[in-house]
């Protein structure tokens, strides 16, 4: 029952301090600001700008992006922030005794 939109990657931002991409779907296809973007492994980013036929996505690796997360095994809630590296997120303010 969940509606899905399959999109193609059109462009990758070449700014080394910003991790953004452009996809080929926009308001005509039902894309909206704040919409999560997923791939086969999970969350990729969030739509930050929407045009008629394209949208700009801020990747979770960007240093200005943060997302709430929950560990299903023990229901611990945290905030994962982008580190500026595509393969690494940062989790701050976690007590040492937390089972992650």
At 25, the pLDDT band (50, 70, 90 cuts) reads very high
Closest CA to 83 of 51, 59, 47: 59
> How confident is the model over 86-100, as pLDDT tens digits?
889 999 888 888 888
Token pair for 52? 């008629």
> How confident is the model over 45-72, as pLDDT tens digits?
999 999 999 999 999 999 999 999 999 9
């Amino acid at each position: 029952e969940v509606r899905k939109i399959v999109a193609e990657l059109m462009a990758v931002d070449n700014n080394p301090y910003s991790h953004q991409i452009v996809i080929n779907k926009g308001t005509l296809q039902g894309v909206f600001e704040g919409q999560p973007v997923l791939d086969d492994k999970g969350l990729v980013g969030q739509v930050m700008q929407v045009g008629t036929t394209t949208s700009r996505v801020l990747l979770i690796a960007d240093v200005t992006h943060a997302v709430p997360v929950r560990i299903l095994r023990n229901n611990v809630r945290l905030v994962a922030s982008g580190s500026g590296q595509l393969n690494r997120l940062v989790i701050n303010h976690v007590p040492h005794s937390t089972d992650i």
